[in-house]
Amino acid sequence: MERMKSVTGAEFMEKTKYRYLGESDQAKELPQPPVEKPAEPGKPVIQLPKPKAWPGVATDLTQAIQDRVSVRRYGPKPLTLMELAYLLWCAQGVKSIEARQVTLRNVPSAGARHPLETYVLANNVAGLSPGLYRYIATAHVLTPITTEAGLAEQLARACLNQRMVSQAAAAFFWAADAYRCAWRYGERGYRYMHLDAGHACQNLALAAVAIGGGSCAVGAYDDDAVNRLLGLDGVDDFVVYAAVVGKQP
């Protein structure tokens, strides 16, 4: 049987090889982009419990890897704010901010560029109004984006009618700030930002097991619709991956 020939995918892999890369903006000594997007001025921030306030969160790593499966149906029990904080910290938590304007986090990233911004659709989180939030990793806080009614259903439809997006306790959307990677790596940075999303999602999946929950990665979605609902331009900032988390039924 003849193999399907990929034109776009093959061109992407070819043109992002090192031999095609020109001088980077970093090499040109252009200003480095910020390590993350700050909270909007005047917008409130929600303090999250810090690691030392997480009693009882412990699991055997080998057991967590073995127990990790894709879970698409969830029970009614909400996530606590502590559990949400733990999930966010595991997926994108900042361990230190270095003098050279880079962050060292709980997941690897090429050149410590960490181009991802984490958006959380909170559907069933105790103490948190349903709505869309963004995680400010350097301060370990959430900032609200919108509590618009019906947003969860809109995002579920944008994720090709995967109802688990609106039925899970929380849905995570990782958006890439493309220039944060491209500043150092040019076109090859587009490879790395997708790898980074995989690192974050796997940490989230293992952390979900540790709190007695389950998760499911989401790669099928209408890019333009999801970007619009999250307020992203789809060119310089765009969603690269998503996942849902909830308590086991």
pLDDT in tens, 146-155: 998 999 999 9
CATH number at residue 88: 3.40.109.10
Q: Is residue 120 part of a domain?
A: yes
Q: Is residue 127 part of a domain?
A: yes
pLDDT at 100: 78
Give the C-alpha separation, 126 to 94, whole Å: 24
- For the chain, give the mean pLDDT: 93
- Mean pLDDT for the stretch of residues 170-194: 97
Q: Identify the domain containing residue 60 by its residue range.
A: 24-247
pLDDT in tens, 68-89: 999 999 999 999 999 999 999 9
Q: Is residue 121 part of a domain?
A: yes
Q: Is residue 11 part of a domain?
A: no
Q: Is residue 111 part of a domain?
A: yes
- DSSP characters for the chain? -PPPPPSHHHHHHHHTSGGG----TTTTTPPPPPSSPPPPTT---EE---GGG-TT----HHHHHHH--B-----SPPBPHHHHHHHHHHHH-EEEEETTTEEEESS--GGG---EEEEEEESSBTTS-SEEEEEETTTTEEEEEE--TTHHHHHHHHTTT-THHHHSSEEEEEEEEHHHHHHHHGGGHHHHHHHHHHHHHHHHHHHHHHTTEEEEEE----HHHHHHHHT--SSSEEEEEEEEEEE--
Bridge partners of residue 141, in order along the sequence = 47, 136
Domain tally, the chain: 1
pLDDT at 39: 86
Q: Is residue 166 part of a domain?
A: yes
Task: Indicate if the pLDDT at residue 4 is higher than 70.
Answer: no
Task: Indicate if the pLDDT at residue 2 is higher than 70.
Answer: no
- With CA atoms as reference, report the closest residue to 127 among 49, 73, 50: 49
pTM above 0.85, yes or no: yes
